[in-house]
Amino acid sequence: MGIKIDFNRCVGCGACEGACPFGAMNMEGGKAVADIDKCTLCGACVSACPVDAIEIERAAVKKDLSGYRGVWVFAEKRGRDFAGVTFELIGAAKELAGELGSKVSVIALGHDMEECTEELFAYGADEAYVVDRPEFADFSDEMYCDAAVQIIEKEKPEILLMGATAYGRSLAPRIASRLCTGLTADCTQLEIDNESGLLVQTRPAFGGNIMASIVCPNHRPQMATVRPKVLKIPTPDFAMKGKLIEPDVHIKGEPKVKIIEAIKKAQGANIADAGIIVAAGRGIGKADNIRHVKELADAVGGVVAASRPLVDSGWIDYSAQVGQTGKTVAPKVYFAIGISGAIQHTAGMSSADIIVAVNSDKEAPIFEIADYAIVGDAVEVTKELVKAFKGKVR
Ligand code: FAD
């Protein structure tokens, strides 16, 4: 690995010297010279060079990948139960394993899990590596990472899927870094490339304006996180049985972080679990108008959500934000009231079964994905919808 400067191309303009944040580029005799002791190979000089005279050579690390098999899921525990995303991931793993002709395995770390491990098999796991110990009762980055890495290093899975939850987002990068492998966060689609057999991990990039398909050809396992509700939960079959494995893991020393007390934040209804959502956008006009949205939510037995500008304005709590930087939801019915339909918003709700959009602009992008399009004023239409539904939805 190193930095290479083509002196025939270099015109001595000094752009690289100005761009280098580490003071590693200097001009000597009218040509760029790199100080390798200071250079971090960040690539700023490569981007800045107007004549493509600088190149960073990175040696491709070739590992023997032949022994890696199987699609694995990290099972996330919430109290005594597994989080729903665990089952969503097992469903996806089953499909991927079907294409690869391999098995679905799950890592479950926690305590008092005798009753719930059967669920892993019901949703499609062939085998479960279960570490059931009192010290694993609460989530711990350090201990969970230690245990997972030991199991993965021994069993060599080809693919490892985790939930893009607060826990998963903290744990997945630790595991990936310890295993020296790649990780694609917040995937919205996972598939196997027919030719290479690699996991194609698709996720929004550049503020959601493009979908990037990412592969991890040289390292294993291929790791991806997926947000809850992006994938469908498969139908469980409690007659299905799997193999329960209790691996021997050794945790060295005391964890640096100890949980003294867990206090549950008081919050309203969780939009991620709601069957009907009434979401307000900037078209609602002013904070006071949210009461009409609440009335509609009450009338249809739903919960209130919002687009990001309403959260940024402090009109609605962040826990109700739908979209790329909020929650992903998949309700039966989604009312989008005065929401334009920006990709960062639709990324979090487009898999709703029925979308009812209200917008004064008949060209609004939300209408492209709406099942019912109502062109009109957000407040006036919402009031009419309240009248239409009040007392009629049980
Ligand atoms: P606007 O885009 O302003 O649209 C308002 C709509 O209301 C328009 O279509 C307009 O025609 C309509 N309207 C106006 N007046 C009326 C009326 N009287 N009656 C009816 N309709 C009316 N956004 C999210 O929502 N969630 C996210 O998680 C998110 N993450 C983001 C992440 C990044 C990195 C970036 C760059 C942006 C993100 N955004 C997110 C912002 C997103 O790009 C949009 O700006 C946002 O979704 C727009 O919200 P809106 O539709 O409520 O407002």
What is the full DSSP assignment across 113-161?
A: -TTTHHHHHHTT-SEEEEEE-GGGSS--HHHHHHHHHHHHHHH--SEEE
**Confidence at residue 393, expressed as pLDDT on a 0 to 100 scale:** 73
Q: How many folded domains does the chain comprise?
A: 3
| Domain stop point among 245, 267, 291 | 245
SS3 content of the chain, % helix, strand, coil (to 5): 30, 25, 45
- Label residue 319 exposed, middle or buried (CB < 10 Å: 0-12, 13-18, 19+): middle
Residue 267 labelled as part of a binding site: no
**Confidence at residue 211, expressed as pLDDT on a 0 to 100 scale:** 87
Same domain, 47 and 73: no
- Which ligand 1 atom lies nearest to the CA of residue 341? 51
Q: How far apart are CA 271 and CA 303, in angstroms?
A: 7
Residue 307 labelled as part of a binding site: yes
- Which ligand 1 atom lies nearest to the CA of residue 324? 28
Same domain, 191 and 289: no
Residue 351 labelled as part of a binding site: no
For ligand 1, the distance from its centroid to the CA atom of residue 310, given in whole angstroms, is: 9
Same domain, 117 and 202: yes
Same domain, 43 and 132: no
Structural element, H or E, at residue 368? helix 366-369
Same domain, 37 and 137: no
Residue 341 labelled as part of a binding site: yes
Evaluate whether residue 265 is within a structural domain.
no
Residue closest via CA to ligand 1's atom 45 equals: 342
CB neighbour burial string for 18-27, b if at least 16 within 10 angstroms, e if fewer: ebbeeebbee
Per-residue pLDDT of the chain (394 residues; tens, 9 = 90+): 688 999 999 999 999 999 999 999 999 999 999 998 999 888 899 999 999 999 988 766 667 898 999 999 999 988 788 999 999 999 999 999 999 999 999 999 999 998 889 999 999 999 999 999 999 999 999 999 999 999 999 999 999 999 999 999 999 999 999 999 999 999 999 999 999 999 999 998 876 678 899 999 999 999 999 988 889 899 999 999 999 999 999 988 888 888 888 887 666 678 988 999 999 999 999 999 999 999 999 999 999 999 999 999 999 999 999 998 899 999 999 999 999 999 999 989 998 999 999 999 999 999 999 999 999 999 999 999 999 998 877 6
Neighbours of 91 (CB within 10 A): 19
Evaluate whether residue 258 is within a structural domain.
no
Same domain, 166 and 82: yes
Same domain, 51 and 96: no
For ligand 1, the distance from its centroid to the CA atom of residue 284, given in whole angstroms, is: 11
Same domain, 237 and 156: yes
Residue 8 labelled as part of a binding site: no
**Confidence at residue 2, expressed as pLDDT on a 0 to 100 scale:** 83
Residue closest via CA to ligand 1's atom 52 equals: 281
**Confidence at residue 394, expressed as pLDDT on a 0 to 100 scale:** 66
Q: What is the CATH number of the domain that holds 14?
A: 3.30.70.20
For ligand 1, the distance from its centroid to the CA atom of residue 208, given in whole angstroms, is: 14
Range of the domain at 193: 69-245
Evaluate whether residue 369 is within a structural domain.
yes
For ligand 1, the distance from its centroid to the CA atom of residue 147, given in whole angstroms, is: 43
Residue 301 labelled as part of a binding site: no
Evaluate whether residue 212 is within a structural domain.
yes
Evaluate whether residue 63 is within a structural domain.
no
Six-digit token string for 135: 């010290």
- Which ligand 1 atom lies nearest to the CA of residue 207? 34
Are 228 and 270 within 8 A, CB to CB?
no
Structural element, H or E, at residue 74? strand 71-75
ipTM: 0.99
Binding-site residues, ligand 1, Cβ < 6 A: 207, 281-283, 285, 307-309, 321-326, 338-340, 342, 344-345, 348, 358-361, 364, 377-378
Residue 105 labelled as part of a binding site: no
For ligand 1, the distance from its centroid to the CA atom of residue 221, given in whole angstroms, is: 38
Residue 325 labelled as part of a binding site: yes
For ligand 1, the distance from its centroid to the CA atom of residue 292, given in whole angstroms, is: 19
For ligand 1, the distance from its centroid to the CA atom of residue 51, given in whole angstroms, is: 41
For ligand 1, the distance from its centroid to the CA atom of residue 20, given in whole angstroms, is: 38
Residue closest via CA to ligand 1's atom 53 equals: 282
Residue closest via CA to ligand 1's atom 8 equals: 340
User: Candidates 307, 350, 374, 382: which one to mutate for ligand 1, based on the most atoms within 8 Å of Cβ?
Assistant: 307
Same domain, 238 and 377: no
- Which ligand 1 atom lies nearest to the CA of residue 339? 51
Same domain, 224 and 89: yes
Same domain, 295 and 377: yes
**Confidence at residue 199, expressed as pLDDT on a 0 to 100 scale:** 98
pTM of the complete model = 0.72
